[in-house]
Amino acid sequence: MTFPPSPLVGRFAPSPTGAMHLGNARTALLAWLHSRALGGQHLLRFEDLDSGRVRPWAYDVTRRDLEWLGLDWDAESRQSGRLDVYAAALARLTRAGETYPCTCTRREVLEAIQDSAGAPHGAEPVYPGTCRARPSDPQRPAATRWKVPDQTVCAHDSLTGETLCQHLLREVGDFVLQRNDAVFAYHLAVVVDDALTGVTDVVRGADLWPATPRQVALQWTLGFATPRYLHVPLLTDFRGERLAKRGGAPSVQALREAGEAPGRVLAALARSLGWDVPGAVQAAELLPLWRGHLSAAGFLPKSQT
């Protein structure tokens, strides 16, 4: 019997807000290696709900970058084409009395946080639930917030072995599922998409690890299975700061157009993970290294590497 049980479905979910930089490319590589090393399907999902941030050219550039690196996919979707699916999930929560409209402005929310006993917790301000009890103002556009469970929810990472538990009401607060400009929030869309497209394994950047318990809680409430999570470290620059599309990090497109060889870029990405590879490699040559990495992490029995 193989482990994990097939069929495995993995995905890479870029936001088409700019050109992929090397950090995005490394996450894309690892997500692809995971799907393919374990004989799974691999999905490409453009997370493009926030139309104000989307750059229309970025879809095509991302596809070309992935193809250039030799990272293929079996199916492609765009969140902007699936609004009815998110609306249906939100309607289910609303019918169950799980949501409430909220017309607080950002400033009012911040003031409420300052006034509340539960002042900001850690890096993230906790919404104190002001609109839960207060009727919303029909004159203003309303966001929809989720009444998060008053309990501790834990997420497990299958790669790092870490478990992260958060008391959602105290540490996160009721979060927005649909903004007041009707844009569905990332947490709702990602949970709905992963579930409805049969994703079993989520390989993504470690920046999303702190948000995982709230996604797990949404899965429970919507009756969805929780996929396996594997968070991978973000690539940092020489100062140790994570690369950002806005920060002028080298884009894959620039390297591609400058005539760089994709094998050298893949080799550099593999070396940044501490893997010992020659100066140029093909993506498929890295499959055994990822399997080895999974075995070392205890994800895969040693016999399968």
> Binding site for ATP, residues?
245
- Does the footprint of ligand GLU cover residue 208 (CB under 6 A)? yes
Q: Half-sphere exposure of 62 toward its Cβ, with a 13 Å CA cutoff?
A: 27
Q: How far is the CB of 141 from ligand GLU (least distance, A)?
A: 25
The alpha helices in 96-146, defined as continuous H runs, are 106-115, 130-133
List the one residue from 34, 36, 82, 204 that touches ligand GLU (CB under 6 A): 204
Q: Residue 25 class from Cβ within 10 Å (0-12 exposed, 13-18 middle, 19+ buried)?
A: buried
Q: Least distance in Å: CB of 13 to ligand GLU?
A: 4
- The reply on whether position 213 binds ligand GLU by CB under 6 A is no
Q: Which residue is nearest to ligand GLU (CB)?
A: 204
205/262 with CB nearer ligand GLU: 205
Q: 163-167 and 41-46: which strand pairing? A: unpaired
Residue 128 tokens read as: 């104190």
Which residues lie below 8 Å from residue 133, measured CB to CB, with a gap of 6+?
none
Closest to ligand GLU by CB, 104 vs 214, is: 214
From 10-18, 157-165, 168-176, 266-274, give the range in contact with ligand GLU by CB under 6 A.
Answer: 10-18
Q: Which is nearer to ligand GLU, 28 or 169 (CB)?
A: 28
Binding residue ranges: 11-15, 47, 102, 104, 127, 131, 186, 204, 245
Binding status of residue 251 toward ligand GLU by CB under 6 A: no
Beta-carbon-side half-sphere exposure of residue 287 (alpha carbons within 13 Å): 14
Nearer to ligand GLU, 244 or 296 (CB): 244
Q: How far is the CB of 162 from ligand GLU (least distance, A)?
A: 17
Question: Judged by CB under 6 A, which of 69, 190, 283, 300 binds ligand GLU?
Answer: 190
- What Rg, from alpha-carbon coordinates, does the chain have? 21
- The one among 14, 40, 128, 262 contacting ligand GLU by CB under 6 A: 14
Phi then psi dihedrals of residue 127, to 5 deg: -70, 125
Least distance between ligand GLU and beta carbon 235 (Å)? 13
Q: Exposed, middle or buried: residue 185 (CB in 10 Å: 0-12, 13-18, 19+)?
A: buried
Contact with ligand GLU (CB under 6 A): which of 8, 10, 15, 32?
A: 15
Nearer to ligand GLU, 145 or 204 (CB): 204
Binding site, annotated residues for Zn(2+): 102, 104, 127, 131
Q: Is residue 65 at the binding interface for ligand GLU, with CB under 6 A as the rule?
A: no
Stretch that binds ligand GLU, among 9-17, 132-140, 219-227, 268-276 (CB under 6 A): 9-17
Q: Would you count residue 13 as binding ligand GLU (CB under 6 A)?
A: yes
| Phi, psi dihedrals of residue 157, rounded to the nearest 5° | -105, 120
DSSP symbols for 29-85: HHHHHHHHHTT-EEEEEE----TTT--TTHHHHHHHHHHHHT---SEEEEGGG-HHH
293's CB contacts (< 8 A; 6+ apart) are 273
Residue with tokens 């249906």: 88
Nearer to ligand GLU, 15 or 221 (CB): 15
Type of residue at 293: H
Point out the annotated binding site for L-glutamate.
11-15, 47, 186, 204
Q: Return the HEC string of 137-174.
A: CCCCCCEEEECCCCCEEEEEECCCCCEEEEEHHHHHEC
Under the rule (CB under 6 A), what is the footprint of ligand GLU?
13-15, 47, 190, 204-205, 208
